[in-house]
Amino acid sequence: MTVLPIRKSPDLIGVLDLQGGVHEHLEHLDRLEIPSRRVKDASDFTGLAGLILPGGESTCLARLITIFGLKDVILQHYRLGMKIWGTCAGAILLAEKVLGENSCLGLIDIEIERNGFGSQLDSFVAESMIPAVSGEILPLTFIRAPKILKTGKEVNVLLRIDDYIAAAENDGVLVTVFHPELTGSVAFHRYFSEKCGLTPQSEAAVISDWGMLSWMKHARIAS
């Protein structure tokens, strides 16, 4: 009798760990009890149902993706079914068109404008209902964010504000120009986990001990 090896279905979400806000995403996934892993090289892609491209600096991230030879690896795993979520700089990496610049992965038919609101000083917080994602009003944190200017036919707009689009998706890709990982809500991490076919174990919608912005405490300098 031949015993076939049991192939475990992908059950992890990876966070690309080359530059940018990685641990905040990992912490949100932990809160939902979704198994996660930092992704630095090709071997880290085994078992990934989804990959998060974090916020940071998109030119720097695009360069590092090339230097570490990860572009083809990401594209290959995407074609095999791995879902991808880009937050802010991550959304820029996923866009088919970047105003005035070359695109990197080009996996979602959107046109995006880097630094669409101005400089770092024009960063802001807001809140909005996003019915597809949650029944609660969600906090939104924009940090030198891009603006999505246009979307193609097969792209579903999740949030439009004034003259721009702030969140959108197609079958395989989710993009948000804001940072859910820097808020006390885990709604987007739950939404992405479910898009990846994973079931969060925790019912939590908001982080009860969020209080002071927990991502700021990491930046505090010891006196």
Residues assigned a catalytic role: 88, 179, 181
Listed ranges 51-59, 167-175, 202-210, 211-219: which one lies at the site for ligand GLN (CB under 6 A): 51-59
Shortest distance, position 141 Cβ to ligand GLN, whole Å: 9
Listed ranges 54-62, 132-140, 191-199, 209-217: which one lies at the site for ligand GLN (CB under 6 A): 54-62
Q: Which of 57, 96, 109, 111 binds ligand GLN (CB under 6 A)?
A: 57
Which CB atom, from 24 or from 198, has the smaller least distance to ligand GLN? 24
Shortest distance, position 24 Cβ to ligand GLN, whole Å: 11
Binding-site string for ligand GLN from residue 78 to residue 97, where x marks contact by CB under 6 A and - marks none:
----------xx--x-----
Check: CB of residue 75 under 8 Å from CB of residue 104: no
Check: CB of residue 105 under 8 Å from CB of residue 93: yes
Task: Give the 3-state secondary structure of residue 216.
Answer: helix
CA–CA separation, 61 and 90 (whole Å):
8
Check: CB of residue 111 under 8 Å from CB of residue 92: no
Which CB atom, from 49 or from 185, has the smaller least distance to ligand GLN? 185
Question: What's the N-to-C CA distance of the chain in angstroms?
Answer: 67
Bridge partner residues of 159 (DSSP): 167
Shortest distance, position 11 Cβ to ligand GLN, whole Å: 28
Shortest distance, position 58 Cβ to ligand GLN, whole Å: 3
Site for ligand GLN in 109-128 (CB under 6 A): 114-115
Site for ligand GLN in 133-172 (CB under 6 A): 143-144
Q: Does 55 bind ligand GLN (CB under 6 A)?
A: yes
Check: CB of residue 128 under 8 Å from CB of residue 137: yes
Mode of pairing for the β-strands spanning 124-129 and 156-161: unpaired
Listed ranges 56-64, 163-171, 197-205, 208-216: which one lies at the site for ligand GLN (CB under 6 A): 56-64
Which residues, 6+ apart, have CB-to-CB distance to 51 below 8 Å?
13, 14, 15, 16, 39, 45, 74, 77, 82, 83, 84, 85
Check: CB of residue 205 under 8 Å from CB of residue 114: no
* Total chain residues near ligand GLN (CB under 6 A): 11
Under the rule (CB under 6 A), what is the footprint of ligand GLN? 55-58, 88-89, 92, 114-115, 143-144
